[in-house]
Amino acid sequence: MKTGNWKIVGGFGAHIKSNRTELIIQHKGIIKETPINEISHLVIFGGHNIQTSTITTLIKEGVFISFCESDGEPVGYMAPYDYSSFREIQELQKSVAPYSYAFTCALGSIRTRILTIEKYAEIFGPDIIYSGELDLLSGYSKELENMVRIEELRRIEKLVRDMYYEIISRFIDPSLHFKRRTVRPYSDPVNAILSFGYGMLSSAFTRAVVGGYLDPSAGFLNRGNQALVQDLINCWKCEMIDKAAIEFIRSDDFNVKGYEISHGRCILKEDIIQQLITIFSSTINPDLIDSQVENLIQALKGESQFSILR
């Protein structure tokens, strides 16, 4: 897999083109040029214009391209031909008994959320956790060991996720109207910011998964498009996205004029999008993501035990 930096284009209306050696992005009268040999991954959020010759050039140079909606929802990807040498590893992926992998993902997701809540209680005070909630969450973690069906693992993991976001809402400014994690379209800036970060994290994991010849839709715990990617990113959202997002939202850098709410939908403005790209580019660790996916591949080959790396 080609190594290097990723390039992220957010907002709307950029013109993306290239020559043989440079990727050229023109946006609001500003032109930025980046050597193609320094790019491993191009992530495009929202509506922009990109030349087909540029796509061809990037793919030939081994650049992975991810496409997301403006709110961070992953749409698809384009990859060089050598990313499709997948038969052996995907057959292993689909033939192994899925329960142990699903259990590891569910337990990883739950434990990282409990640990994160405990850290927030140290920072913001124990009152953010209602009486008995932490015991309840720990009980869910222990209860996983008694689950025999993947559907049960999925239910408990989602229940803990829902509680996690509800607890987070208690130390976020009430005027932002964040009470829980919601589905699209997002009506508050907190959900919009989290989703943008999750889109970046999903793109990073998709590149690693596809680069490892795995099927991103063949999950163990989750089902549907990007199921495997969701299995993995739910174990890393707290560490790579949530902490930085909450710190930003609670900081003086967060400007309430950086978004607008129209017809029940929150739209992030250009300035805040650029801030988020800078923040999450520093908190998402591609090397660690590659190591996590490599751990999964080794487990599928019977060379090691699958685990969530810490």
Binding residues for Mn(2+): 157
Q: Is 22 helix (H, G, I), strand (E, B) or coil?
A: strand
Rounded to the nearest angstrom, the gap between the alpha carbon of residue 306 and the centroid of all alpha carbons in its chain is 20
Task: Take residue 179 and report the two structure tokens written for it.
Answer: 């009470």
- Residue numbers belonging to the annotated binding site: 157
Q: Which residues have C-beta within 8 Å of that of residue 287, sequence separation ≥ 6?
A: none
Helix axes 133-143, 150-168, angle to 10 degrees: 160
Tell me the H-state helices in the chain: 52-60, 87-95, 99-124, 133-143, 150-168, 189-211, 227-233, 237, 243-249, 270-283, 286-300
For 231-263, give one letter per residue: b (16+ CB within 10 A) or e. Answer: bbbbbbbbbbbbebbbebbeeeebeeebbeeee
C-alpha–C-alpha distance, residues 307 and 302, integer Å: 13
Q: How many helices and strands in the chain, by DSSP H and E? A: 11, 10
**Beta-sheet pairing, 74-78 with 64-68:** antiparallel
